[in-house]
Amino acid sequence: MTVEGVKESVTASAPGKIIIIGEHFVVYGSYAIAAAITKRARVTVSGTSGKETLIFSNDMKSKLSEHSGRFSAVKEVVRALYEKYGPPENGIRIDIQSDIPLGSGLGSSAAISVATAGAVSRFMGHDLQHEEIATFAGRGEKSVHGNPSGIDTAASLYGGMILFSRKTGPKPIPLNRAIQLLVVYSGVPRSTSKLISRVGETKSKFPSTFEHLADASSFASLQLVDAFSNGDLPYVGALMNFSQATLSWIGVSTNNLDALVENVLHSAFCYGAKLTGAGGGGSIIALPMPEKAVALLQKISKRYKVAFLVSIPQQGLSLEFGVR
Catalytic residues: 152
We find the least distance from the C-beta atom of residue 69 to ligand MEV, in angstroms, to be 20
Nearer CB in complex with ligand MEV: 13/109: 109
First to last CA, the chain: 25
CB of 121 to ligand MEV, least distance (A): 22
Taking phi over 0 as left and psi of -120 to 50 as alpha, with beta for the rest, 265 belongs to alpha
* Residue closer to ligand MEV (CB basis): 256 or 301: 256
Residue closer to ligand MEV (CB basis): 277 or 288: 277
Q: Is 24 or 75 the residue whose CB approaches ligand MEV more closely?
A: 24
* Count of all residues that appear for the chain in the document: 324
User: For residue 10, what is the enclosing H or E element?
Assistant: strand 9-21
Classify each residue of 267-278 as buried b or exposed e, where b means 16 or more C-beta atoms within 10 Å of its C-beta: bebbbbbbbbbb
Minimum separation from the CB atom of position 46 to ligand MEV (A): 31
Provide, rounded to whole angstroms, the least separation between the CB of residue 252 and ligand MEV. 8
Tell me which DSSP letter residue 167 carries: T
- When the beta carbons of 13 and 192 are compared against ligand MEV, the nearer one is 192
Residues that bind ligand MEV (CB under 6 A): 19, 23-24, 26-27, 148-149, 151-152, 192, 196, 277-278
Nearest distance from residue 26's CB to ligand MEV, in Å? 5
- 158 vs 156: CA distance, rounded Å: 6
- Residue 14 CA to chain centroid, in angstroms? 10
- Count Cβ atoms within 10 A of the Cβ of residue 78 and give its class: 0-12 exposed, 13-18 middle, 19 or more buried: buried
Q: Name beta bridge partners: 40.
A: 15
